[in-house]
Amino acid sequence: MLLIFLLFIFKNNIIIIVSIAKNITRPIFPFTAIVGQEEMKLALILNVIDPKIGGVMIMGDRGTGKSTTIRAIADLLPKIEVVEDDICNSHISDSELMTDAVKQKLCQGKNINTVFTKVPMIDLPLGATEDRVCGTIDIEKALTEGIKTFEPGLLAKANRGILYVDEVNLLDDHLVDILLDSAASGWNTVEREGISIRHPSRFVLVGSGNPEEGELRPQLLDRFGMHAEIRTVREPSLRVKIVEQRNKFDSNPQSCLTEFKDQQNKLKSNIINAQRILPKTTIDYDLRVKISEVCGELDVDGLRGDIVTNRAAKAYAAYNSRENVEVEDIKKVIILCLRHRLRKDPLETVDSGSKVKQVVESIFY
């Protein structure tokens, strides 16, 4: 939020008006203050720990806190080190997260300045065009001056962050395809009139929607790593608690942030610790076989279900400060990873998880 202050200075009977612009950070509702919706919160945490899980699709009723929760997880994350004035928030040492321009400077031994910034949280509006999403190349400048001038899109700005698409089930299918391709490969390529530019675009893709407005096609839904299903809270005491929590934040945001500061810091340190442990986390061969047995029994097409379940189970084990995956870790995440992969007919609805749970209980006895 940008506030403009006008300062009136009287000098020699002349009024001089000086404007002072000041950035005021808008407070974000704390993640740990959100009541219920455990599926959604767990899916977001696991994707933050390991973005290679492939993002999360959140489907639920209106007014259930989907947008609030997604913005809260982004605000919770620790600041990241990025190359100063870089369009893609390039990493200073990981080649998979830096632009070709930064790589070239490093090869030439040039000094590169870095700054610490908040994890990018990018909202993709439903009316966005392909150029707005992917970026554009100035063809005229390229042809007349021989200079590749790239105007970055949302995929560049979302690198190393979170890209959120509300009502993703209403977004054009070809844009969903672009988002999923970039999220899976970690790169975005823009080609115009024989001129090609590519840049890193590794982000956590989060989509949300209301099932009453329609589901995504099975082929697109399958490419989301996890699927969280949320429902309106029915228990009166919980509803009252949610309303009170929201009213408390709206009336005095700083007091609410202070109240949950310790819980926020604890969760933040758990996530950082899990990211550190994750590369060392292993899953036994027998457990991997049983995961694939579940996928085969459920007639899950392709191998994405197997891969995502393995990654999510390791992320959950790391989140609990363990380097070895246990059966309970798999049971905790497998429904989130497989329930949306069972739908064969576009007219069918996504299973609530009962089929997955039944097969899991029979195999992981």
Point out the residues that are catalytic.
Answer: 304
Gap between the Cα atoms of 194 and 196, Å rounded: 6
Q: How far is CA 283 from CA 173, 319, 322, in A?
A: 36, 14, 11
Q: Which helix (H) or strand (E) holds 39?
A: helix 38-49
State the Cα torsion 160-319-232-183 to the nearest 10°.
30
Give me the helix-helix angle, 327-338 and 354-363, nearest 10°. Answer: 150
Residue with tokens 């992981």: 364
Q: How far is CA 116 from CA 6, 89, 113, 119, 196, in A?
A: 31, 10, 11, 9, 30
- Mapping DSSP to helix (H, G, I), strand (E, B) and coil, where does residue 184 land? helix
- State the DSSP code for 282: B
